[in-house]
Chains A and B, each alone.
Chain A
Amino acid sequence: MLKLRRWQMMRTGLALFCLALCISLPAARSLVVAAVAQQAVNPLAREMADFKKRVDAYLQLRKTITQKYPEVKETGNPTKIHEREVALGKAIGLARANAKAGDVFGPLSGHLLKVVEDDWNSRSPADQKAILSEIPRGLMLKVNQPYPPKLPLVTAPPKLLAQLPVLPEELEYRLVDRRLLLRDRDANVIVDVLVGAEPKRAE
Chain B
Amino acid sequence: MSVRQLFLASALFLGISTLGAQAPTSKPAAPAPAAQAAKPSLEVSPPREMDSVRFGILGDTGTGDRRQYEVGAQMTKAMQIFPFEFVIMLGDNIYGSERPQDFVKKFEKPYEGILSQKVPFYASLGNHDDPTQRYYKPFNMNGERFYTFKKGDARFFALDSNYMDQQQLKWIEEQLSGANDRWKIAFFHHPLYSSGARHGSEVDLRTRLEPLFVKYGVDIVFAGHEHFYERIVPQKGIYYFTQGGSAKLREGNIRINSALTAKGFDTDNVFMVAELGKDSMQFQVVSRTGRRVDSGSVPLMPEPKSADDKPRSQ
Tell me the interface secondary structure of chain A in the complex. Answer: loop
Contact B127 A74 (CB under 8 A): no
Q: Which residue of B lies closest to A119 (CB)?
A: B204
Taking CB atoms, residues of chain B closer than 8 Å to A22 are none
Pairs A-B, 10 closest by C-beta atoms: A78-B103, A79-B100, A158-B164, A76-B137, A78-B100, A152-B127, A74-B137, A158-B208, A156-B163, A152-B128
In the complex, what's the smallest C-beta–C-beta distance from A182 to chain B, in angstroms? 13
Q: List 25 A-B contacts (CB under 8 A).
A: A74-B135, A74-B136, A74-B141, A74-B142, A75-B135, A75-B136, A76-B137, A78-B99, A78-B102, A81-B136, A130-B199, A150-B96, A150-B97, A153-B128, A153-B130, A153-B131, A153-B162, A155-B163, A156-B163, A158-B164, A158-B207, A167-B165, A172-B163, A185-B132, A186-B131
Is A155's CB under 8 angstroms from B127's CB?
A: yes
Task: Kindly list chain B residues whose C-beta atoms are within 8 Å of the C-beta of A152.
Answer: 127-128
Provide the A156-200 mask, 1 if CB < 8 A to any CB of B, else 0: 111101100011010010000000000001101000000000000
> Is A149 in the interface zone, CB < 8 Å from B?
yes
In the complex, which residue of chain A has the Cβ closest to the Cβ of B139? A74
Give per-residue flags for B199-231: 1 if the beta carbon is below 8 A from chain A beta carbons, else 0.
Answer: 110011101100000000000000000000000
A residues bordering B, Cβ < 8 Å?
72-79, 81-82, 85, 126-127, 130, 134, 149-150, 152-159, 161-162, 166-167, 169, 172, 185-186, 188
Known: A74-B141, A153-B128. 4 other contacts (CB 8 A): A78-B102, A81-B135, A161-B165, A185-B132
Q: Is B117 an interface residue (CB 8 A)?
A: no
Q: Are A78 and B136 interface neighbours, CB within 8 A? A: yes
Closest chain A residue to B199 by CB distance?
A: A130
A166 and B166 contact, Cβ closer than 8 Å, known pairs A75-B136, A79-B100, A158-B208: yes
Cβ-defined contact, A186 with B132, below 8 A: yes
CA of A150 to CA of B127, assembled, Å: 11
Interface residue total, chain B, C-beta cutoff 8 A: 36
Separation of A77 and B101 alpha carbons in the complex (Å): 10
Interfacial residues of chain B within 111-148, with CB under 8 A of chain A in the complex: 127-133, 135-138, 141-143
A156 closest partner in B (C-beta): B163
B167 within 8 A of A: yes
Report whether A72 and B162 are in contact in the complex, using a CB–CB cutoff of 8 Å.
no
B205: chain A residues within 8 A (beta carbon): 158
Interface string of B81-96 (1 = CB under 8 A from A): 0000000000000001
User: How far does the Cβ of A186 sit from chain B's closest Cβ, in whole Å?
Assistant: 6
Which B residue's beta carbon lies closest to that of A186?
B132
Contact A73 B143 (CB under 8 A): yes
| Distance in angstroms between the alpha carbons of A88 and B310 in the assembled complex | 51
**Cβ–Cβ < 8 Å partners of B190 in chain A:** 155
Which of A78, A81, A153, A154 sits near B129, CB closer than 8 Å? A153
Known: A74-B137, A152-B127, A159-B207. Contact between A81 and B132, CB under 8 A? Answer: yes
Q: Is the CB of B165 within 8 A of A149?
A: no
Residues on A with beta carbons closer than 8 Å to the beta carbon of B153:
none
Distance between Cα atoms of A126 and B196 in the complex (Å): 13
Contact at B100–A75, with CB atoms within 8 Å?
A: no
